[in-house]
Amino acid sequence: MTSEFKLAPSILSADFADLQSALSQCEDGGAHWIHVDVMDNQFVLNLTIGPPVVKSLRPKTNKFLDVHMMVIDPERLVEAFARAGADLITFHIEATDDAQAVIDIIKASGTQVGISLKPSTPLSEVEPYYDQIDLVLVMSVEPGFGGQGYIDGSTERVQKIKQKLTELCLQDRVLIEVDGGIKLHNAKKVIDAGANVLVAGSAIFGTDDPAQTIRDFYNLSS
């Protein structure tokens, strides 16, 4: 049996002219989290969602708002997203020269803390911070655009992170989230490798019935 997990539909793949419908579909399907991709056209070559969008989403849903900042100098935006209603703010280890300072700022804002890393970044870059964070986000595509294919080596990276967290007795405290190329056909192997949270965008909002697709993901654990 596949272990219990949380699904975080990425609204980057939803209809931006009707995000209320996307939230309703997530509610109807039973998704635990809502994943919000923030891109600044500098760290990655795309420009997406800012704090005003998160602020507009917050009163419309009681879902956990999972904000993934793909931006340089992430400390500049932490307070704005925290005030807007983020429950968790994740930054990229590659986007700052002082990860400890960013962690401290996020903690001071009152939100949970996540660290993300690109597919080519050594796991050793984030390991020193495991005991200070709530989540590690494994990018299984190159960040920047939705609809990419899953990089197979990502599954092994999840396994290694899970092993390290277990060695540190942190496996029950630090969640592993995987983002990129997650589909119904590969989700089970990623969960079995140790992932606790799966981000899916086009695999959900690109279907005729996003709510049913969310339920299909959760049926993998039944």
Residue 97 appears among annotated catalytic residues: no
> Of 37, 40, 66, 134, which residue is the catalytic one?
37
Q: What phi and psi, each to the nearest 5 degrees, are found at residue 166?
A: -65, -40
Report the chain's mean pLDDT, rounded to a whole number: 94
Q: What is the 8-class DSSP label of residue 183?
A: -
Residues 6+ apart with CB under 8 A from 42: 71, 72
pLDDT at 174 over 90: yes
Single out the residue of 159, 141, 161 nearest to residue 203, CA to CA.
Answer: 141
Does the pLDDT of residue 222 top 90, yes or no? no
pLDDT at residue 127 in the model: 98
Of the candidates 87, 97, 179, 209, the residue annotated as catalytic is 179
Residue pLDDT, tens place only, 8-20: 999 999 999 999 9
**DSSP 8-state assignment for residue 133:** -
Ranking 47-51, 71-75, 185-189 by mean pLDDT, the lowest is: 47-51
Q: Note if 179 is an active site residue.
A: yes
6-219 carries CATH number 3.40.50.300: no
Its sign, for the CA torsion 138, 142, 145, 147, is negative
How far is Cα 176 from Cα 158, in angstroms, rounded to an integer? 7
Confidence of residue 1 (pLDDT cuts 50, 70, 90): very low
CA–CA distance, 120 with 105 (Å, rounded to integer)? 26
The tens digit of pLDDT for each residue in 94-130 reads 999 999 999 999 999 999 999 999 999 999 999 999 9
pTM of the model: 0.95
Which pLDDT belongs to residue 3?
55
Q: What are the boundaries of each domain within the chain? A: 6-219
Q: What is the pLDDT of residue 44?
A: 85
